[in-house]
Amino acid sequence: MTPFLTTVLASLPVLSAACARPADENVLQIRARELWVGDGQRLENALLVVADGRIRSVSTGRAPDVSLPLYEHDGVVTAGLIACQSESGAAGELYDDTRAVLAGAHTLDVFQPEHRDFERARAAGITTVVLSPGGENLVGGIACAVKTAGGRVLEPRSALALSFSGAALGRTNSAQFFFFGAAEDELQGPAEGGPEQPGRSARGTREPTSYSGAVATLQRLFASGAEPYASAERGQLPVTLDAWDRHEIVRAALFAREHGLRGAVRGAPLAGDPEVLSELKKSGLGVILGPWSAEQTRASLESLPRLSEAGLPVAFALDAPAHSPEDLRLFAARALSVGAPRDAVWKALTVDAAAIAGVGERVGRLAEGMQADFVLWSGDPLDLRSRAQKVYVDGVLAWSEPRPHR
Amino acid sequence: MLAGLFLSLSTSVPTSWPSPGDFLGPVRLPRAADDEPLLAVRAGRVIVRPGEEIENGVVLIERGIVLAVGKDVPIPEGARVLEGKVACAGFVDAWSSLGLDPVSVYDPNVTPSSRTLDALDPWQQPQERVEALRGGVTSARVQVGRASIFAGLGALVYTDERSTPAVLLEDACLAGSIGLARGGRVPDVFDRVAEVDRLIGALDKARRYRESQVEFRDELKTWLEGVAKKVTELEKDFKKAKKDREKEEKDAKDKGKEFKEKKFKEDKKPRAVRFDPDDEAIARAVEGEVPLVVEVHRASEIRRLLDKTEPFDRLRLVIAGATEARSFAEELAERDIAVIVWPTPMGTWRADEYQAHDLALAGELARAGVRVLIGSGGGSDARELRFLAALAVGHGMDAADALAAITSAPARVFDAAQRVGTLERGRSADVLVFDGDPLDTGAPLRFVIARGRLVVQ
Amino acid sequence: MNAMLLPLSLGVVCVLSPWLAAQEEDDWTISADMVYTAAGAPIEDGVVRVQDGKITAVGKGGGGSLEVAAITPGLIDLGVEIDTGLYSVEQSRESAASLSVADALDLFSFQWKRELTSGVTTVLAVPADYDVVGGLGVVLKTGGPATLEARLVRADAVLRGALGTQPSSGNNAPRFGDPANFYYRRPTTRMGVEWVFRKAFYDTIQGEGVTEPAIAADHDVLRRVLAGELTLSVAARATQDVRTAIYLKEEFKIPHMIIDDAVEAWREPELLVRSGASVVLPPFPADGRVDDGFVNDSYFVPLEAARMLHDLKVTFALSGHGSREVGTRLSDQAGLAQRGGLAFEDALAAVTLTPARMVGVDQRVGSLEVGKDADLVLWNGKPFEPTARVVGVLLNGRLVLDPRPASR
Amino acid sequence: MKNPKLPPAARALCAGVLLAVGHADGKLVIEAGRIVTQAGPDIENGRIVIENGRITALGKADEVEKPWDAVVLGGPKTVAFPGFIEAHTSQGMDRANENIDVAPFLDIRDSIDPVAYYFEDCLRYGITTVNVQQGANCVVGGRGMIVRPVGMTVEELTVRPLYGLKLSARPKNGKSRATQMQALRYAFDDLKHYLEDLVEKERDERGYAKREALFQGRDLEEEKAQGRAMGGTAWKVDGLDLIPRGALDEKFAPLLDLVEGRYAAFIHCADPLDVAHALEIARANGFLARTTLVIEEDCWKAADLIAEAGVPVVLEGALVDVRRDPVTGEEQETFVPGVLHDKGVRFALSSESPSTRAPAFQAALAIGRGLERAAALDAVTKVPAEILGLGAEVGTLEVGKLGNVALFNGDPLSVTSWVEHVVIEGKPVYDRSKDVRNKQLLEGVQPANTAPPSKVDAPDPEHADEAGKEGAQDEKKEDEKKEEKEEKKEEGGGKGGGR
């Protein structure tokens, strides 16, 4: 087959497809040295065709349609990264001191699309972020999944945030109570001479004050049949359960199994512990790991491979802006350094994260029909030496590298 | 890539020690590792030093020392051969407190003459050192007294702990810090400026202390010569003086007057300079025997520090942190002042001095010709070093510069280039074997050889 | 000055035989020079047969797969104080009787294993004493899988109350304004503590319409205490607290009461005998003095306290308070009680069958009898003597501490 | 251990009661069901004859003839044991330390308190010889002394004055390990500089005098050296013989004696790193041969270093080091005397140990943990005696040695046995039946006409240091509580995501 003939043959189907429909104005073709579909497949010099925000086709070896705009990328194209727990653009606003239960709170009300945090997230290759409370409230409210560009809300009711961690327990004004890390003044209780009505309280004096009190309150809330607990029990609304120590994780898993909740545990550095893992498997909950600090012990780094072996979906919490968006790939690098398989780590950044956020069939992979969130990397994204050169959200170029790099 | 530096080696393995002449400065010879079998590393790429590689070269290691590096070095039988894609020298963390007693690291009343060696605690947190070795870090510059203006003498130590002394260099540098939040209190501008002046004042005092010591030595020599000459004179005419004295004594007794001795005068002996351990330590830095590492971040202090250290020509200044040092790149390059950067991602909750933190700093300084070192920020998590170097490359730093920043550059700045930092004959056998490029965090680290012993596989 | 020689080789670590992965085998025959069953005379050259977690035979004979100097039943500690601190007690109301500590336990804590390897196999866990009526306590084993249903021996074993200075510690009444809410706390004195205690029982007895579901649940629990279905365990250290506890018992005719941490109970022999309450003694301090910890006061317990209570025929148990120091743990307390004059058999009963009976689990644990749980402690000498040590522990028939490796 | 002060009157009364038991004339016979001589096999129902403070006869009852006019103590069910020896303690003093770093000129004699509760406890546990040194909250403390725990005045107490110099490798309050080691090194550097300056000044003066004599035509008789050359093995300042030893500054003289090996050194170590520092300082300054390390339980990790240096050790820490492994979270219990015994380190048990004060009870616990019986008993008798250089005087029951005996009412290692009588140098000084405070500890009954025990006054400020020491213990407890609280918090990037 002479070279000329092959190009004609190869372009025939495209031509036929093209002329069948009028050429849309925002069709984009990208040919890259390497394309990661997301389910472990890696395509060499693949062609990605995107049309009005959706992926039209992902193929390898097919010649691009010359009449449509084409962008050649000498690097890797992958789906956009997904950060499963973050307070981007809403630092310090996603929890409330005075009440333990904020069933009606909705993080969507705090979503500021133009905030600089989202731009820095885009620069790190993150296209979707789940705005969810940080676990300081027993019932933190409803989290939402948003895109980091264009102000688009991907999933308004991504999860109901509950917390089984010690952070959610109020503290009495008893002087002996040394809450780890609490500033000295917090222990004095309400400011002297403060207003007298009973509801008013400084940070730290709030019901419930114990694990048993917290479990009793949650049991009562779920027994009441009110929203949003009823839809959580019916399985329509996933939950995220904040739990850090191993006994907190087991308590959260037992509660989820008892009430038939689905979703994920957040924090859980030692989720890889065999006894905790068996409880998690029984409850079917996923795990949102971290965020990890630098001095993370090996035991917690190794929980990612153990969880993925057990078949549980694993994702990373970012907790921006406290942590920089660059940290997401740094967590991945640390997991790789203790021997986690590459596919498991990549799934944690994309496919599993989307599944946990409840948007598994819309983002996270490069496949026909999915939303066109993808990133052009200078090299292997799991290698910290590569950078995001262009980030597309919903098919539109959302961020590109400011200065030409020699 | 430059063709490998080919080293021919006679087949017989030299049993004698490399002669001490090979080694520079007050360096301790590592005692023989217990009789390890001969080790050989064969790799597709052997990186002797960043920018100089050997295609499928071989590294031969015996008794903790690299015996030979070359293309086709004969491997004696009985040697254990390790295969890998890339081999390079062990990483050197330029800014760490690994393996130190935590209380000493933040002890506020540390003086310039305090020694970090006194805080090296092999029984504390061994897992931190194991994690560092697993991250490829085989030696680190460790420093106590992060909370005081002068932090005493830092040390260069190996991260693996064995019966052989883990100390590579007892006094790798003199250290100090300016403008840090001390004891929870963030200093205002005047405090910070005052701290620079106190540092410079101490340097000046030490210089005068060393000069007065030299002066005293000369004066004492001349004085002693004078006295010796005087004594010979006096001995020569002692008999005459004795006769005169007896005569005068007799006269005085005859006249009933009281005999008066002749007054003996001589110029006083010069007084020695009072020994001051702190000035001794600072003087070594002023004379350039050891580099002076100063942690400083804000532009105003860097500006003042650079101006005020201008007159100290033999001072080998190194700046750590240097968050706002971008605009001084040319001056730093021209005065050959090394900079230790801590390129870790920082969220909004960072300490006051890191407000202008940016991961691209390392790349920009390196491009302007500054000798850039990468450190893990003075904490004890040295295992992050490889990730930090990769992040720096990800933000514009040249890959070779980044590898140099964690291997040969720190070794050179802290006078240990003869021992660590490169894969050459005579160096300490710190060898890393990777499945890909050393800074590719996607590729796992297969073997770590520390001082000739395989510690990680 | 040369650099220090800092060798890596640590001193030979001769640690307790390492925690073995739970042996899968479930049947053992263990013979010993002396088998102390705590349910009858000790058996010389006895043997205990264990199958599927239960004791299947106890009697004379030798030739077991394990040979040790002595076997005793698993020790039981009712005052072990392993809790998650202030997170284990609900302080939003002064009496949280209906809340159970079962939801606030950290079964991953290393302290359980510390108790297990020192011979304590069953413990009573109660909420911390920062509330006047803290809530329900549970009896559980100190080993096995880290879930409650695997370790539970008896749920709702006791209702925990506390007198003395701890419940009022840290509370501060405002100088003005409404004192009754959660953010300004009553009580602040011992009188206040007793008032809240009496009010809880008084409201239960009055029982007029209570709307709040939580308060109603509390009243149900208190009613069960008054009906005798549930034992009340009260922490009372000082003489006046012990007296207050007994007066409350007699005033509200509370059938079963344990006075826990009863440092100065020995000062009130008549009241103890009259009231029929049982007592859990604290660990014996070396100089007899126990610091209050919340106020600058201290209380005194003599070494003979155990013998005195024995002579008064008061049911009492010993406790080690989960001590970290070797030499002050529950097994050592039994030795110190003997130093105060208590006979060996009574000391053995005070750490095995009596505490089991006090919390109603004596049909499962507390003594070596056929059919009971196979909780055994193996010794290398006469139990409770300082020259002997716990070398092996069986929990539910599993060998969790193996005497065989020659560990120091 | 609290050391509350009863009002002086009550204390005098208690002490008085104890002493009245002793009597003159120096002849005493002890008959016991068993005599544990610690220098050979035990003797069943033997007899010990003590005259003028020394044992003159020892053996089976029928072989040893009883002098007619001797007082007889003991009975068939008792066990005689050599008096226990406390190799190092900082108890029994008003304040354990001055607050200046280097104070070698201090002397225990000025602060020891003959009627302190500690000495009463010593008698109660059968301890007959106590080495009292300064506390550990210092860089170089002062000189201590060896005492017998009975007597009203310091002279009656004293067995050997001016014995031992206390140093500490454990950081003093406010110092860290780096600054503490620096201060230790400077203490000896300062001594060296001081001596060198002294010699140089003397030489200059003599040189000037010679030249002046020549100038004036006088004959100068050569002054002979008044001092003596510097001894010691590590470093020397030559020409020290020019200086009369009396002229040396009191601040430096004891340190010089230490470097010349004329003083025993007791160095306190809390961590293995302290042990390394202590041995380094001792080697560098030549007093390693006369060094004893006073260690806490964590130092077992440096047992190799100690064995290599061949120095004896006093274990003031707990017998078992309970430590949590940060990585696995498991708790490890290490039996410290076992490790020391395996490594061949000579160790003595101490009544300072938080495990328990009574040496007999500690020896029993050690045997329970697997230490041979002989090694355990030696650790409370022979080894401390050798450490204090009193091997020939005390530690065992042999003819010619001092008559220090502790009489138990049963096997000393059993938990139910008490010390009935204590005899020091032939004089019975303690009788349990007359021991007021022991009766109260046992039966809780407060005997008549003694101060009410319950209202114990809070430790008054001038015991700040003791409280400090206690504070240190509280701190230690505090750390453990904090440590356990952290463990409760287990793993993780901390609440709220490692903020």
pLDDT at res. B186: 82
Distance to chain D for B121, nearest Cα, Å: 6
pLDDT in tens, D302-328: 999 999 999 999 999 889 998 888 777
Interface mutation vs chain B, best among A384, A386, A389, most B CBs within 10 Å: A384
pLDDT at res. A99: 83
**HSE value, Cβ hemisphere, 13 Å, CA-based, for A100:** 27
Q: Which domain holds residue D445?
A: 437-498
Chain-chain contact of C325 with D330 (C-beta, under 8 angstroms): no
Distance to chain D for A133, nearest Cα, Å: 10
A56 phi/psi in degrees, rounded to 5: -85, -45
pLDDT at res. C181: 54
Give the mean pLDDT of C96-101.
93
Contacts of D207 in chain B (CB under 8 A): 227
Cis check for the bond before C187: say yes or no (omega within 30 of 0): yes
- Helix intervals (H) in A260-302: 274-283, 298-301
pLDDT at res. B354: 87
- Least confident interval from A76-80, C236-240, D69-73: D69-73
Tokens of D449: 């006409």
Nearest residue to D141 via CA among D179, D102, D93, D113: D102
Chain-chain contact of B165 with C3 (C-beta, under 8 angstroms): yes
Has residue C169 got a pLDDT over 70? yes
Going by C-beta distance under 8 Å and a sequence separation of 6 or more, which residues neighbour residue C142? C112, C113, C115, C116, C120, C121, C122, C123, C151, C395
Nearest residue to B145 via CA among B121, B168, B125, B175: B175
Tokens of A135: 């676990």
Count of CB atoms situated within 10 Å of the CB of B227: 16
Residue C230 identity: L
pLDDT in tens, D35-60: 999 988 999 989 999 998 899 999 89
pLDDT at res. A1: 40
Chain-chain contact of C8 with B167 (C-beta, under 8 angstroms): no
Residue D305 lies in a domain: yes
pLDDT at res. A230: 94
Q: What CATH number does residue D247 fall under?
A: 3.20.20.140
pLDDT at res. C349: 96
pLDDT at res. A187: 32
Identify whether residues A43 and A151 lie together within a single domain.
no
Q: What CATH number does residue A383 fall under?
A: 2.30.40.10
Give the mean pLDDT of A36-55.
90
Identify whether residues D330 and D445 lie together within a single domain.
no
Interface mutation vs chain A, best among C101, C129, C149, C182, most A CBs within 10 Å: C182
pLDDT at res. A286: 94
Give the mean pLDDT of C311-315.
95
Identify whether residues A308 and A395 lie together within a single domain.
no
Measured distance CA(D350)–CA(D353) in Å, rounded: 6
pLDDT at res. A234: 93
Distance to chain A for C299, nearest Cα, Å: 21
Is B309 part of the contact surface with chain A (CB cutoff 8 Å)?
Answer: no
Q: Which domain holds residue A219?
A: 81-356
- How many domains does chain A divide into? 2
pLDDT in tens, A124-157: 999 999 999 888 899 999 999 999 998 899 999 9
Q: What CATH number does residue A114 fall under?
A: 3.20.20.140
CA-nearest residue to D440 within chain C is: C302
C-alpha gyration radius of chain A: 23
Chain-chain contact of C6 with B122 (C-beta, under 8 angstroms): yes
Contacts of C89 in chain A (CB under 8 A): 209-210, 212
| DSSP code of residue D125 | H
Identify whether residues A53 and A164 lie together within a single domain.
no
pLDDT in tens, D158-184: 999 989 999 999 999 989 999 999 999
Residue ranges and CATH numbers for the domains of chain C are 24-73+367-408 (2.30.40.10), 75-365 (3.20.20.140)
Is C110 part of the contact surface with chain A (CB cutoff 8 Å)?
Answer: no
Shortest CB distance from B117 goes to which of C3, C8, C10? C3
Question: Pick from D308, D325, D354: which residue ends a domain?
Answer: D354
Identify whether residues A32 and A111 lie together within a single domain.
no
Tokens of A251: 């308590």
Residue D214 lies in a domain: yes
Q: Which tops the pLDDT comparison, B188 or B13?
A: B188
Question: Roughly how many angstroms between the first and final C-alpha of chain B, as a whole number?
Answer: 28
CA-nearest residue to C144 within chain A is: A275
Is B101 part of the contact surface with chain D (CB cutoff 8 Å)?
Answer: yes
Confidence band of D5 (pLDDT split at 50, 70, 90): very low
Beta bridge partners of C122: C76, C141
B73 near B60, Cβ under 8 Å?
A: yes
Chain-chain contact of A167 with D496 (C-beta, under 8 angstroms): yes
Nearest residue to B125 via CA among B379, B385, B430: B379
Give the mean pLDDT of D238-264.
89
pLDDT at res. B189: 86
Give the mean pLDDT of D199-227.
85
Has residue D113 got a pLDDT over 60? yes
Distance to chain C for D327, nearest Cα, Å: 13
Identify whether residues D319 and D220 lie together within a single domain.
yes
Measured distance CA(B238)–CA(B228) in Å, rounded: 15
Distance to chain C for A236, nearest Cα, Å: 27
Residue D447 identity: P
Interface mutation vs chain D, best among C6, C15, C297, C339, most D CBs within 10 Å: C15
Contacts of D327 in chain B (CB under 8 A): 127
Give the mean pLDDT of B152-159.
91
Give the mean pLDDT of C62-73.
90
Beta bridge partners of B293: B175, B318
Is C5 part of the contact surface with chain B (CB cutoff 8 Å)?
Answer: yes
Residue D474 lies in a domain: yes
Give the mean pLDDT of C364-392.
94
Residue A11 lies in a domain: no
Identify whether residues D153 and D291 lie together within a single domain.
yes
Nearest residue to C217 via CA among C162, C156, C157: C156
Confidence band of C65 (pLDDT split at 50, 70, 90): confident
pLDDT in tens, C229-277: 999 999 999 999 999 999 999 999 999 999 999 999 999 999 999 999 9
Identify whether residues A274 and A291 lie together within a single domain.
yes
| DSSP code of residue A390 | E
Contacts of C340 in chain D (CB under 8 A): 442
Residue B363 Cα to chain centre, angstroms: 24
Is B40 part of the contact surface with chain A (CB cutoff 8 Å)?
Answer: no
A131 near A146, Cβ under 8 Å?
A: yes
pLDDT at res. A61: 79
Chain-chain contact of B231 with D177 (C-beta, under 8 angstroms): no
Tokens of B413: 């700045």
pLDDT at res. B115: 92
Going by C-beta distance under 8 Å and a sequence separation of 6 or more, which residues neighbour residue B16? none
Is C214 part of the contact surface with chain A (CB cutoff 8 Å)?
Answer: yes
C268 near C239, Cβ under 8 Å?
A: yes
Percent of chain C at pLDDT > 70 equals 89
Give the mean pLDDT of B211-230.
93
Count of CB atoms situated within 10 Å of the CB of C29: 17
Task: Return the H-helix or E-strand segment holding D86.
Answer: strand D84-89
Beta-strand relationship, D27-35 and D79-82 = parallel
Chain-chain contact of A275 with C102 (C-beta, under 8 angstroms): no
Exposed / middle / buried, residue B182 (Cβ in 10 Å: 0-12, 13-18, 19+):
middle
Measured distance CA(A280)–CA(D336) in Å, rounded: 41
CA-nearest residue to C168 within chain A is: A174
Has residue A397 got a pLDDT over 60? yes
Nearest residue to C148 via CA among C136, C139, C157: C139
Confidence band of C173 (pLDDT split at 50, 70, 90): low
Contacts of B161 in chain C (CB under 8 A): 6, 8
Confidence band of D444 (pLDDT split at 50, 70, 90): confident
Chain B, residues 359-398, CB within 8 A of chain A, namely 359, 379-381, 383-384, 386-387, 390-391, 393-396
Residue D418 lies in a domain: no
pLDDT in tens, D457-496: 434 444 334 333 333 333 344 444 444 444 444 443 333 3
Interface mutation vs chain C, best among D188, D274, D351, D441, most C CBs within 10 Å: D441
Has residue D71 got a pLDDT over 80? yes
pLDDT in tens, D326-338: 777 788 889 999 9
Residue D362 lies in a domain: no
Contacts of C325 in chain D (CB under 8 A): 318, 322, 354-355
Identify whether residues A26 and A99 lie together within a single domain.
no
pLDDT at res. D451: 62
Per-residue H/E/C for chain B: CCCCCCCCCCCCCCCCCCCHHHCCCCCCCCCCCCCCCCEEEEEEEEEEECCEEEEEEEEEEECCEEEEEECCCCCCCCCEEEEEEEEEECEEEEEECCCECHHHHCCCCCCCCCEHHHHECCCCCHHHHHHHHHCCEEEEEECCCCCCCEEEEEEEEECCCCCCCCEEEEEEEEEEECCCCECCECCCHHHHHHHHHHHHHHHHHHHHHHHHHHHHHHHHHHHHHHHHHHHHHHHHCHHHHHHHHHHHHHHHHHHCCCCCCCCCCCCCCCCCCCCCHHHHHHHHHHCCCCCEEEEECCHHHHHHHHHHHCCCCCCCEEEEECCCCHHHHHHHHHCCCEEEECCCCCCCCCCHHHCCCCCCHHHHHHHCCCCEEECCCCCCCHHHHHHHHHHHHHCCCCHHHHHHHHCHHHHHHCCCCCCCCCCCCCCECCEEEECCCCCCCCCCEEEEEECCEEEEC
pLDDT at res. D472: 37
Identify whether residues D104 and D220 lie together within a single domain.
yes
Give the mean pLDDT of D101-117.
89
3-state secondary structure of A130: strand
Residue D237 Cα to chain centre, angstroms: 32
Confidence band of B72 (pLDDT split at 50, 70, 90): confident
CA-nearest residue to C239 within chain D is: D454
D329: region left, alpha or beta (phi > 0 left; psi from -120 to 50 alpha): left
Chain C, residues 241-280, CB within 8 A of chain D, namely 266-267
Nearest residue to B41 via CA among B89, B82, B90, B88: B82
Residue A14 lies in a domain: no
Identify whether residues A269 and A120 lie together within a single domain.
yes
Confidence band of A313 (pLDDT split at 50, 70, 90): very high
pLDDT at res. D485: 42
pLDDT in tens, A89-125: 887 788 887 788 988 889 999 899 999 999 999 999 9
Tokens of C217: 């649940």
CA-nearest residue to A210 within chain C is: C87
Residue A328 lies in a domain: yes
Has residue A241 got a pLDDT over 50? yes
D45 phi/psi in degrees, rounded to 5: 20, 75
Chain-chain contact of A293 with D489 (C-beta, under 8 angstroms): no
Shortest CB distance from A384 goes to which of B131, B349, B441? B441
Identify whether residues A76 and A91 lie together within a single domain.
no
pLDDT at res. D468: 36
Burial code (b: 16+ CB inside 10 Å, e: under 16) for B107-133 equals beebbbbbbbbbbbbbbbbeebbbbbb
- How many domains does chain D divide into? 2
pLDDT at res. B62: 87
Identify whether residues A113 and A39 lie together within a single domain.
no
- Least confident interval from A309-318, B436-445, D175-184, D262-271: B436-445
Nearest residue to C257 via CA among C276, C242, C243: C276
Question: Pick from D316, D339, D354: which residue ends a domain?
Answer: D354
Going by C-beta distance under 8 Å and a sequence separation of 6 or more, which residues neighbour residue B195? B149, B178, B179, B187, B301
Interface mutation vs chain D, best among C12, C292, C336, most D CBs within 10 Å: C12
Chain-chain contact of C4 with D442 (C-beta, under 8 angstroms): no
pLDDT at res. A297: 77
pLDDT in tens, B295-324: 999 999 999 999 999 999 999 999 999 999
**HSE value, Cβ hemisphere, 13 Å, CA-based, for C133:** 26
Sign of torsion over alpha carbons A206, A210, A216, A219: positive
Question: Pick from D339, D354, D369: which residue ends a domain?
Answer: D354
Identify whether residues A339 and A389 lie together within a single domain.
no
Chain-chain contact of D175 with B107 (C-beta, under 8 angstroms): yes
pLDDT at res. D4: 45
Average pLDDT, chain D: 83
Identify whether residues A71 and A192 lie together within a single domain.
no
Distance to chain D for C184, nearest Cα, Å: 27
Nearest residue to D495 via CA among B290, A169, A111: A169
Identify whether residues D339 and D486 lie together within a single domain.
no
Nearest residue to C325 via CA among D148, D214, D365, B256: D365
Shortest CB distance from C86 goes to which of A177, A216, A220? A177
Measured distance CA(D494)–CA(D486) in Å, rounded: 10
Contacts of D334 in chain C (CB under 8 A): 13-15
Identify whether residues A168 and A235 lie together within a single domain.
yes
Residue D18 lies in a domain: no
